[in-house]
Chain A
Amino acid sequence: MTLPSTAAGAVIAIMIMAFITYLTRAGGVFVMSRIPIGPKVERFINAMAGSVLVAVITPMAVQGDWGARLALLATLVMMLTTQKALAAITAGIVTAALWRLVA
């Protein structure tokens, strides 16, 4: 099932994303008022939240050029040392730009 990325297709895709996201915002309150969320479900959701980001990033590192790989590495190192997201992202962008300037 795919949507063409025409204006109409894109708007429908955005509406669907908005609907799903609101379901997650309201869902926790709605479900919790009926059945409490147990520790097992909590552990699954916690692990899944990071895992989905890993699954999105992995192909970028595997299929990307060295500029992209070094950018991710710079972001990781910067994030682990400074804990500042903006600095880490900037380091990544600058690394990719510099690599492509010389390579």
Chain B
Amino acid sequence: MTPPVAGARLDLPGVLSGIRRMAPLSLFVVIFGLAFGVAALSRGLSGLEAMLMSALVFAGASQFAALELWGPEIPLLPLIATTFAINARHLLMGAAIQPWLAHLPPRQRYASLVVMSDSNWAMAAADHQRGETNVGMLVGGGIALWLTWLAGTLLGVIFGSGIEEPQRFGLDVIMGCFLLAMLVGGRRDLSMLLPWSAAALAALAAMVWLPPHSHVIVGALAGGLVGLLVPPSRGEREATA
């Protein structure tokens, strides 16, 4: 593999091309946004609050998980820990493209990261591998995803407010099914079964013996720690050797 060309730039044509390339994929995001809007209303958020969350947080899995904590009162520490743990993958994604973004002026660099999400990151990282210096895929793709995520949420809010008993139509299970699909669809790696089992057992134990909502933090930490004990996969060992 040839080392990627040094340098990075951000300009309008690059951003527009990024929006265009993301457009087909971002249509699916509308449907996920719709599911979030419906689920948010069924958990007692107002339509405006659901829209605000989609606009400012812009991270599907953590938004669905936050709904699970939503009630008459919102527990702050579990909310912070859950949001951080689910979005911690961004740390690795950012670290992976840091050598590329380092060529941008700091203001452009940190502004681009506002819209960094899984699919635009993946496409931009592939661009970089091919020797592309234009960061437009990251920013333009992110803008396309943000717009469609917001549009989907709006549709969900409009659609969801017309439904009297969401559980009759199975709409209360959207959250769980979405998170499970994200979990299984991510990395298909059997070495994760051990940490995940540990997370499930720790979460169940915390539900019985520890204060309410602590099961998310306890499960995440237990899974992370067991992950340290699992021997690295072959690919990883080659990469670090």
Interface residues of A (CB under 8 A from B): 1-5, 7, 9-11, 13-18, 20-33, 36-37, 39-40, 42-62, 64, 67-68, 71-72, 75-76, 79-80, 83, 85-86, 88-89, 92-98, 100
| Contact B196 A51, beta carbon cutoff 8 Å | yes
- Which of B129-137, B149-157, B180-188 lies at the interface? B180-188
Summed over the interface, the residue pairs from A and B with CB atoms below 8 Å come to a total of 305
| Interface size class of chain B, counting residues whose CB lies under 8 Å from the partner chain | 35 or more
Within 8 Å by CB of A29, from B89, B113, B232, lies B113
Q: Which of B32, B207, B224 has the most CB of A within 10 A?
A: B224
Within 8 Å by CB of B232, from A39, A59, A72, lies A39
Is B126 on the interface with A (CB-CB < 8 A)? no
CB of A2, distance to nearest CB on chain B (Å): 4
Known interface pairs A32-B94, A100-B170; A54-B74 also in contact (CB < 8 Å):
no
The residue of chain B having its C-beta at the shortest distance from the C-beta of A97 within the complex is B170
Report chain A residues within 8 Å CB of B204: 58-59, 62
A31 to B240, CA, bound (A): 19
Known: A44-B225, A55-B219. 11 other contacts (CB 8 A): A5-B44, A14-B53, A27-B94, A29-B101, A39-B240, A45-B89, A48-B85, A49-B186, A67-B173, A71-B176, A95-B170
The residue of chain A having its C-beta at the shortest distance from the C-beta of B109 within the complex is A29
Within 8 Å by CB of B28, from A18, A52, A59, A86, lies A86
| Contact B92 A46, beta carbon cutoff 8 Å | yes
